[in-house]
Chains A and B, each alone.
Chain A
């Protein structure tokens, strides 16, 4: 049996592999085409139309984009979203890095790791609602604590200066544990021998953080940043639940504006144009981040 025609058998098996591979890839490819590429193309097409869902879309060329460039609410939304991302990502990354390093250098308790992840298990909407109550101007325990300390009450969700920092920090609270865990996973790839060598050389904890941890963590940190920045740009639920874009336009982030244009004013064409703008912004930001952090390369070798 084993002696009969091994070459043809091998060739046939290889051909079978290709077919099998295609069969395995097909569902994912189909899903990608149907649920990602087709909506993307359709969204781009709709951005060149005037469409209210109820009557057929009408091609209007670049009219939506011209309107967008002259739309102060759009530019305000870009500014507000950028401010949110800067505060959210800035604080979140620093805090998460700190937690991750503490977990690495001080305690490796599984219980601690689980505890740090708990805020992430709370849904965005619930977290937002709870903070809305905690920080309520009149009834919130947060403001009552401020008053007890002899400070003035703060309209966390109701004053134009505080609303974006507040929302950004609420989301930091929810996401920092998750981010810390991702960074922690990256820290585990750094060989402990490095730290031993540093200690033998008499380096302090701070010195080894900046000379060993940071350079070796860079690729992981870069990827974490890219993913979290994309997520941060898409902030919607926290805003929708707490302020609905207010006071005035102080928290009218891009996603909320897109949503309002589409589902409250049935201006799907313009909303699509806004979405395309957001897509372009994210592509540019992601590309820059990738280049700056050199996330594709490692210094570990």
Chain B
């Protein structure tokens, strides 16, 4: 199965997807054989991968159908691993969805193959003002040649999750986690906190004399694996707070900055936490880390993770969940990856104008407030974001650390370039090596040319 790091919106479960490709394609054909809806209306297929969001979008679609009685929408949800394979199989068979949830790392390759429609060329979506969305989100979906391939539906940022009770045991309060600083040399006050929160088998804390890093009971920081090529929830926010950027341009860069000493220093600090006993070794977490569980079981205290995971943390039993902002780095403030999903229209759709109406509605405040009220993700329209903040507050979580980052502009984008699949396949084992400790982060510089070549060739596989 393709190498999915848990950093992306994959909530749980790893399944053997090999067998599902053919089955999926067959299922699609069968599903589409059912044909357009009755009564002369138009039937649209809409796909998404996040089961948590299904109820919210079901509600949205019902509202859409009420406004557009001539259109019927059929929603299908598949897990992250299966989703992309089914989608590709759907494109091959000409039986994919009309409208689907799209990811920044995937759409360049689909767009390059002419599989997506330019939304500016369709009446309903061309009328949407890109400034309706949280800053920058809409532009992520515009390719260098000016075509727009998605309307933003939500965004996510990174913050620190923790259990208030675990903090109290360490004699700390949530206020102690505000205004932390970090730097790659000595880790700043952030490292002091992580050290203090780590406890070995004898009850000695990480900042006390005689701490045994080889026999740790509670880690200060929860491991979410090596993070693969982008380290979204693991190290990207640390490296970015030194002023480092993934590529030479915010989006559609042609040169990766893997040769930047700031990146190497940040990775060295982060994965160096393993030797200090503040982060679980690779040996313990393997290829399917579960920071949520680590926090829930008291194995770790702080867990840097994305806003799409809020629901998973709130559903943990027996903990008093708190959310703290990321520490400020050498640039003087925190930095977080700012990623967003969008809805795209398949070039194979028989009803482009109707599909555009659906996408425009899904991207409108009408729908996104509904989604926000479900309290699962942060919708891309500010009114939707506000609704989500409120809904999360009702669940007992103050999500301000996530939204502050956007309001303050302390964000950077997912590296949107060509050839994501090949870059990820190349870098993921390398990052695992760095995590394990058998490779020096500085050697990433040796791979920079190879990565740039993949981007330049613009191919999927090389």
Interface pair A259/B1, CB less than 8 Å apart = yes
Asked if A84 CB lies within 8 Å of chain B CBs, one says no
Asked if B164 CB lies within 8 Å of chain A CBs, one says no
Interface pair A54/B91, CB less than 8 Å apart = yes
Asked if A198 CB lies within 8 Å of chain B CBs, one says no
Interface pair B460/A159, CB less than 8 Å apart = no
Binds B, one of A105-113, A206-214, A240-248: A240-248
Interface pair B429/A263, CB less than 8 Å apart = no
21 residue pairs of the A-B complex, CB under 8 angstroms, read A55-B113, A67-B462, A137-B285, A138-B284, A155-B283, A157-B286, A158-B283, A158-B286, A158-B287, A245-B3, A246-B429, A246-B432, A247-B282, A247-B436, A248-B429, A249-B429, A259-B18, A263-B21, A266-B88, A267-B461, A270-B461
Interface pair B18/A244, CB less than 8 Å apart = no
Interface pair B287/A243, CB less than 8 Å apart = yes
Chain B residues near A (Cβ < 8 Å): 1-3, 14, 16-18, 21, 85, 88, 91-92, 109, 113, 115, 282-287, 299, 421-422, 425, 429-430, 432-433, 436, 438, 459-462
Which of chain B's residues have a CB closer than 8 A to the CB of A79?
none
Known contacts A54-B113, A247-B436: A264-B283 contact under CB 8 Å = no
Which of chain A's residues have a CB closer than 8 A to the CB of B286?
137, 155, 157-158, 243, 246-247
Interface pair B85/A263, CB less than 8 Å apart = yes
Instruction: Choose from A263, A265, A270 the contact partner of B18 (Cβ within 8 Å).
Output: A263
Question: Which chain A residue has the least Cβ–Cβ distance from B1?
Answer: A240
- Chain A's interface size range is 35 or more
Interface pair A260/B460, CB less than 8 Å apart = no
Which of chain B's residues have a CB closer than 8 A to the CB of A169?
none
Which of chain B's residues have a CB closer than 8 A to the CB of A236?
18
Question: Which chain B residue has the least Cβ–Cβ distance from A157?
Answer: B286
A243 to B425 CA separation, bound complex (whole angstroms): 15
Question: Which chain A residue has the least Cβ–Cβ distance from B419?
Answer: A265
**A148 to B: closest C-beta gap in Å:** 15
Q: Which residues of chain A from 205 to 260 have a CB within 8 Å of any chain B CB?
A: 236-237, 240-241, 243-249, 252, 259-260
Interface centre among B2, B113, B461 (most CB of A within 10 A): B461
Secondary structure at chain A's binding surface: helix, strand, loop or mixed? loop
Q: Which residues of chain A from 119 to 143 have a CB within 8 Å of any chain B CB?
A: 125, 137-138
A246 to B436 CA separation, bound complex (whole angstroms): 11
Instruction: Choose from B285, B287, B433, B460 the contact partner of A52 (Cβ within 8 Å).
Output: B460
Question: Which chain A residue has the least Cβ–Cβ distance from B88?
Answer: A53
Interface pair B92/A54, CB less than 8 Å apart = yes
Interface pair A244/B91, CB less than 8 Å apart = no
Known contacts A155-B284, A267-B460: A237-B421 contact under CB 8 Å = no
Known pairs A52-B113, A54-B91, A264-B421 / 18 extra A-B pairs, C-beta < 8 Å: A52-B461, A54-B92, A137-B286, A158-B282, A160-B436, A160-B438, A244-B3, A246-B287, A247-B287, A259-B1, A259-B18, A260-B2, A260-B425, A264-B3, A265-B422, A266-B109, A267-B422, A267-B460
Interface pair B462/A240, CB less than 8 Å apart = no
Interface centre among A245, A249, A265, A270 (most CB of B within 10 A): A265
**A43 to B: closest C-beta gap in Å:** 15
A24 to B9 CA separation, bound complex (whole angstroms): 53
A263 to B425 CA separation, bound complex (whole angstroms): 12
Which of chain B's residues have a CB closer than 8 A to the CB of A267?
422, 460-462
Interface pair B115/A54, CB less than 8 Å apart = yes
Known contacts A138-B299, A263-B2, A267-B462: A248-B18 contact under CB 8 Å = no
A155 to B285 CA separation, bound complex (whole angstroms): 9
**B297 to A: closest C-beta gap in Å:** 9
- Convert A34-76 into 0s and 1s, putting 1 for each residue whose CB lies closer than 8 angstroms to a CB of B: 0000000000000000101111000000000001000000000
Interface pair A137/B284, CB less than 8 Å apart = yes
Which of chain A's residues have a CB closer than 8 A to the CB of B284?
137-138, 155, 158
A160 to B436 CA separation, bound complex (whole angstroms): 9
**B249 to A: closest C-beta gap in Å:** 24
Which of chain A's residues have a CB closer than 8 A to the CB of B88?
53-54, 266
A67 to B459 CA separation, bound complex (whole angstroms): 15
Instruction: Choose from B2, B85, B283 the contact partner of A265 (Cβ within 8 Å).
Output: B2
Instruction: Choose from B85, B283, B425, B438 the contact partner of A248 (Cβ within 8 Å).
Output: B438
A125 to B16 CA separation, bound complex (whole angstroms): 8
Which of chain B's residues have a CB closer than 8 A to the CB of A266?
88, 109, 421, 460-461
Which of chain A's residues have a CB closer than 8 A to the CB of B21?
263
Question: Which chain B residue has the least Cβ–Cβ distance from A159?
Answer: B283
Question: Which chain B residue has the least Cβ–Cβ distance from A128?
Answer: B16
**B150 to A: closest C-beta gap in Å:** 18
**A53 to B: closest C-beta gap in Å:** 5
A247 to B284 CA separation, bound complex (whole angstroms): 11
Q: Which residues of chain A from 244 to 301 have a CB within 8 Å of any chain B CB?
A: 244-249, 252, 259-261, 263-267, 270
Known contacts A138-B284, A259-B1, A265-B425: A240-B18 contact under CB 8 Å = yes
Which of chain A's residues have a CB closer than 8 A to the CB of B429?
245-246, 248-249, 252
Which of chain B's residues have a CB closer than 8 A to the CB of A159?
283
Interface pair A265/B14, CB less than 8 Å apart = no
Question: Which chain B residue has the least Cβ–Cβ distance from A154?
Answer: B283
A50 to B422 CA separation, bound complex (whole angstroms): 15
A263 to B86 CA separation, bound complex (whole angstroms): 11
Interface pair A158/B18, CB less than 8 Å apart = no
Question: Which chain A residue has the least Cβ–Cβ distance from B92?
Answer: A53
A270 to B421 CA separation, bound complex (whole angstroms): 14
